[in-house]
Amino acid sequence: DIRMTQSPSSLSASVGDRVTITCRASQSISTYLNWYRQKPGRAPELLIYGASSLQDGVPSRFSGSASGTDFTLTISSLQPEDFATYYCQQNYNTPYTFGQGTNLDIK
């Protein structure tokens, strides 16, 4: 299985801050990497697919990038609804493994 390692595991920030979350794959996955946000008590929702493509309806403050086996999710200006847990997932091959999650909370 491909292992996905996210960092940090948790992060405290304030409304308006710029934050970056990183995900590293244990082998090459090209850009078959997706990002999801999970608000407390809710199902996950897709933010980014193909490492850098913004899902329809997702605010432009979210962006994704890739460099080799390293991937980043950047939120340019945190909003109150962004305090949640974020997961990366590789869709390169099955099993489609997730990172362990990054919990973003209010400082």
Tokens of 101: 């999650």
C-beta closer to other proteins: residue 14 or 94: 94
| Least distance in angstroms from the C-beta of 32 to other proteins | 7
98 interacts with other proteins by CB under 8 A: yes
Preceding peptide of 44 cis, ω within 30°: no
Q: Which residue has the tokens 């595991």?
A: 9
| Least distance in angstroms from the C-beta of 69 to other proteins | 17
Tokens of 57: 């309806």
The two beta strands, 102-106 and 10-13, are parallel
| Least distance in angstroms from the C-beta of 66 to other proteins | 12
Phi, psi for residue 24 in degrees, rounded to 5: -120, 130
The binding site for other proteins (CB under 8 A) comprises: 1, 31-32, 34, 36, 38, 43-46, 49-50, 53, 55, 85, 87, 89, 91, 94-101
